[in-house]
Structure 1
Amino acid sequence: MKKIRAAVIGATGYTGRDTIEILLSHRFAEVTYLTASSDDSVPASSMHPRLTGRCGLDIEPLNFDKLADTADAALCCLPHKVSMGFVPQMLEKGLKVVDFSADYRIKDVEVYQEHYAPHTDKDNIARAVYGLPELYRSELKGADLAANPGCFPTGSILGIAPLLNSQVIDPSDICVSAVSGATGAGKKPSPGLHFPNHNENIRPYKIGSHRHMPEIEQICAAVAGDEVNVLFQPHIGSFDRGIISSIYTRPVKDLSQAELEDLFKDFYECEPFVQVLDSPPEVKNVANTNYCHIYPAAVKGRIAVFTAIDNLVKGASGQAVQNMNIMFGIDEKEGLL
């Protein structure tokens, strides 16, 4: 089959690097164009030394004509508020786009604008499919714009969805406490990520106001068919990559541990990248993979669910390639561990 020509837009960051690496091992795709916001071209291997001897492309300023000539798919690793300035032109050029930002995830424009910025491409919000394959696989097939989920929402929603789908919990009483590695904050230096401040440390942030909370609530409400209230509290820990999410819910019916495990195993029975465990997950066991590990527990009258993902893979680049595969009608596991 003809290989998918893939461009990585915003190739200098962590997600750009991981996307390139995944595509280099993909049998049915090839990296044909790398871009960044700089005015100058630089070898990809000088920006990401891990690519030395593996990728001979330069990272160039974005040129839409060259993009259209060299690529079939654009994996857009641009920041929130920036991406929507570029995606419309990519779509006009006939590319399939997987957008890593939040710009097309939230369907309610007012909610988006409350947490991010004025939206300049409202017409394409309805066009975008939320890129969580476990819930939206059929919609992703043939789509031309996928809104790649946030890393925290991915781990949270995968842990909550089976319970809401089975209507066994109170949708108004869900609490998620999650810890992310430092790469979740991106590549730009900041005082909080300065080594003496970050090393051997963990801290909560954005108390009750994190902008991933409305994203989690939107998708959970779609699963539940009703309003959902989620208290989401993120933390940042002193490890490089991964997210561990602890989810606490109030059941509306009695479930034994065995029944709870069966519920999750049935829900994810055919999912290639979700594994239901018989013990709590750990971030080291999913690092550099596209897997989500889940462990549900019936404890003290509550249902607790624990999930682990790699924030840069299942939480970003890996899931984006999974979405791209589905959009182009090939095995969604291709190129992914």
Structure 2
Amino acid sequence: MKKVRAAVIGATGYTGRDTIEMLLSHRFAEVTYLTASSDESVPASVMHPRLTGRCGLDIEPLNFDKLADTADAALCCLPHKVSMSFVPRMLEKGLKVVDFSADYRIKDVEVYEQHYAPHTDRENISRAVYGLPELFRSELASADLAANPGCFPTGAILGLAPLLKAQAVDPEDICVNAVSGATGAGKKPSPGLHFPNHNENIRPYKIGSHRHMPEIEQICEGVAGSGVNVLFQPHIGSFDRGIISSIYTRPSKDLSQEELKRLFEDFYEGEPFVQVLDSPPEVKNVAKTNYCHIYPAAVKGRIAVFAAIDNLVKGASGQAIQNMNIMFGIDEKEGLL
């Protein structure tokens, strides 16, 4: 099988580094081009010392002609509001693109612009397939643009989808309380992530206004076939990586603990990266993996669902590799086990 030539666009951040590492262990893909916004090239092993002796490529300024000559896939690890300036030219060059930003996730342009910025590539929004394989695998197989989900939405949607599909809960009464590690804020330093401020600390932020909320609601509404109202409240904790999502909702029909667990097991039967547990998940057990661990519980007249992922893997780079695999007809587990 001919190897997929993969470029990592925006290779200097955490997701860029993790994407490179996964591609290095991929049997049917190879890293052929690394880029960043800098005007000068720097060896990948200098930017990411973990890659010393493993990757001899430089991280270079982006050249679209070189990109087209050296790559079949572009894994675009650029920030929100920046990615949409580059993705159209990648598509014009004939590449398949997995975009890590929010620029192609939200179908309603007005909603996107309310939370991010004016959108400059509206024509490609409808072209993008939301990159959650558990829900959109068949569409991804023929896509040339995948909108990689946000890290918080990944855990929240996977925790809610079986319930909404079965119409087992009130779609207007959903609360998602989630805690992310510090890498979820990106590589750029900030006062809140300064070690004395962040260490041994946890804090909520963006109360009722986080920009992942409309993304969660959009996908959940598609699953439910009706309007969905989600109160999403993020927190940031003093650990490096991972997200634990605690989801609370009201059942619309009686479900025992056994029936609830069976509902989730049936929904995710055959899914390689979702595991339904018999006890609550822990972040450490999914760290540096592409797995989502889920535990649903029927308790005190409510349904609580707990979902754990690694925000940099299933919440970003690993899911992107999974999407790339599906788009190129490769076993989606390749490079991820």
TM-score computed with the length of structure 2 as normaliser: 1.00
Give the secondary structure class of the aligned counterpart of 1:207: coil
CA displacement 1:179-222 (0-9 Å, x = unmatched): 00000000000000000000000000000000000000000000
Structure 1 position 123, deviation (Å):
0.1
Q: d(CA) in 2 for partners of 1:209 and 1:180?
A: 17
The one-letter code of the counterpart of 1:188 is K
2:235 alignment partner in structure 1: 235
CA displacement 1:101-149 (0-9 Å, x = unmatched): 0000000000000000000000000000000000000000021000000
Structure 1 position 260, deviation (Å):
0.2
1:108 alignment partner in structure 2: 108
Q: d(CA) in 2 for partners of 1:239 and 1:200?
A: 9
Give the secondary structure class of the aligned counterpart of 1:219: helix
Give the secondary structure class of the aligned counterpart of 1:313: coil
Q: d(CA) in 2 for partners of 1:8 and 1:92?
A: 17
Q: Which runs of 4+ in 1 moved over 3 A?
A: none
Q: d(CA) in 1 for partners of 2:317 and 2:242?
A: 13
2:187 alignment partner in structure 1: 187
CA contact (8 A) 1:286 1:310 kept: yes
Q: d(CA) in 2 for partners of 1:143 and 1:255?
A: 38
CA contact (8 A) 1:142 1:329 kept: no
Q: d(CA) in 1 for partners of 2:48 and 2:198?
A: 23
CA displacement 1:269-292 (0-9 Å, x = unmatched): 110000000000000000000000
Q: d(CA) in 2 for partners of 1:59 and 1:206?
A: 34
1:152 alignment partner in structure 2: 152
Structure 1 residues 100-179: aligned runs within 5 Å = 100-179=100-179
CA displacement 1:28-71 (0-9 Å, x = unmatched): 00000000000000000000000000000000000000000000
1:7 alignment partner in structure 2: 7
Give the secondary structure class of the aligned counterpart of 2:189: coil
1:210 alignment partner in structure 2: 210
The one-letter code of the counterpart of 1:77 is C
1:312 alignment partner in structure 2: 312
CA contact (8 A) 1:84 1:120 kept: yes
Give the secondary structure class of the aligned counterpart of 1:314: coil
Q: d(CA) in 1 for partners of 2:63 and 2:17?
A: 20
CA displacement 1:62-110 (0-9 Å, x = unmatched): 0000000000000000000000000000000000000000000000000
2:267 alignment partner in structure 1: 267
Structure 1 position 172, deviation (Å):
0.4
Determine whether 1:22 maps to 2:36: no
1:61 alignment partner in structure 2: 61
The one-letter code of the counterpart of 1:167 is Q
TM-score computed with the length of structure 1 as normaliser: 1.00
The one-letter code of the counterpart of 1:293 is H
The one-letter code of the counterpart of 1:118 is P
What is the root-mean-square deviation in Å for CA atoms of aligned residues? 0.3
Give the secondary structure class of the aligned counterpart of 1:67: helix
Give the secondary structure class of the aligned counterpart of 2:303: strand
Q: d(CA) in 2 for partners of 1:171 and 1:138?
A: 26
Q: d(CA) in 1 for partners of 2:137 and 2:71?
A: 23
Q: d(CA) in 1 for partners of 2:183 and 2:231?
A: 23
2:80 alignment partner in structure 1: 80
Structure 1 position 163, deviation (Å):
0.0
Q: d(CA) in 1 for partners of 2:53 and 2:29?
A: 18
The one-letter code of the counterpart of 1:181 is G
Structure 1 position 11, deviation (Å):
0.1
Structure 1 position 301, deviation (Å):
0.2
Q: d(CA) in 2 for partners of 1:294 and 1:30?
A: 32
Q: How many residues align?
A: 337
Structure 1 position 169, deviation (Å):
0.2
Unpaired segments ≥5 residues, structure 1: none
Q: d(CA) in 2 for partners of 1:276 and 1:24?
A: 30
Q: d(CA) in 1 for partners of 2:252 and 2:79?
A: 40
Unpaired segments ≥5 residues, structure 2: none
